[in-house]
A = this chain, B = another copy of it.
């Protein structure tokens, strides 16, 4: 029965999830959406829908305590979960936090971690209402679930984009990835010579993008104020390319993105040059910016034109036209999801 052995690495994360999720077809009338969007969508009665999402963060895989202060880690862990609720156009309300930790952590260290979560809970107005605490044989493992609500007429899935819809992104992209490059470089310098002070001056913005990202609940509010419901939405955790592919696949459309429109911060641009990296590649494949990517009907876009947080970067095409980047020099490059395989 267990003769076969397929290596995890041969499937990659998305392949593994697809394979594991397949037998779990939702059976309850309360389940409007199971696996396959930023949140599961549940109808528990009442006027709004219940959203749930969950994330697991593992030391040495998702974070490195050599440069990630525990307080920032706590903040980020909450923010990235809240971001999943925002990505459905919802309002976060509650989180639970489970943690496995070894006795190399002191009580004071764990309190630092929770202090960061507390700041995030205040910022996003969510209550921490439960969790589990256990021991770990090695590193720190953090598992957070977030619950939220969204009006039935406000919910934005990944699947509702139509041809001609305008593709928009919030904030700017690539910063979190370039912040990580800075931190990794300074860690290597430190490891080879512990007396050298880290050289991070002027890089505050991108360091913050990496260590303490912000969930765009403010944009969910702006959309509501403008009376606009996105036709599709996702948050940018794995990089713009990967998220564009998700929207296209789920909405059965194609897309064109204009390289010149992709919003980039000055520090990020300068740092890319410093590292000899192409800034567009950083935005497409970098990940962890936790900005929102969404489509709106052309007539709705007019209502968002003056929002300082929202940039139009492309539009939807018929699926058969494909998914591509219109580069600065006028070329069309087919988009590939970099994917993400840490096995």
Footprint of B on A, CB under 8 Å? 2, 4-11, 13, 16-17, 19-21, 23-24, 26-28, 30-31, 33-35, 39-40, 42, 44-48, 50, 52-56, 58-62, 93-94, 96, 98-101, 103, 105-112, 114-115, 118, 121, 125-139, 141, 143, 145, 147, 149, 342-343
A108 and B147 within 8 A (CB): no
Most chain B CB within a 10 A radius of its CB, from A60, A121, A132, A143:
A143
**Chain B residues with CB below 8 A from A59, complex form:** 137
> Which of B7, B58, B128 interacts with A24 by CB under 8 Å?
B128
Q: Is the interface of A mostly helix, strand, loop or mixed?
A: mixed
- Kindly state the separation between the CA atoms of A21 and B121 in the bound complex, as whole angstroms: 13
For A10, the chain B residues whose CB sits under 8 A away are 107
> In the complex the two chains form, is B46's CB within 8 Å of A127's CB?
no
Residues of B within 8 A of A9 (CB): 103
CB-based nearest B residue for A148:
B44
Asked, given contacts A16-B133, A55-B132, A130-B34, whether A141 binds B5 with beta carbons under 8 Å apart, the answer is no
Residues of B within 8 A of A136 (CB): 58, 61, 141
* B145 A8 Cβ-Cβ under 8 A: no
Assess whether A34 is in contact with B128, with CB atoms less than 8 Å apart.
yes
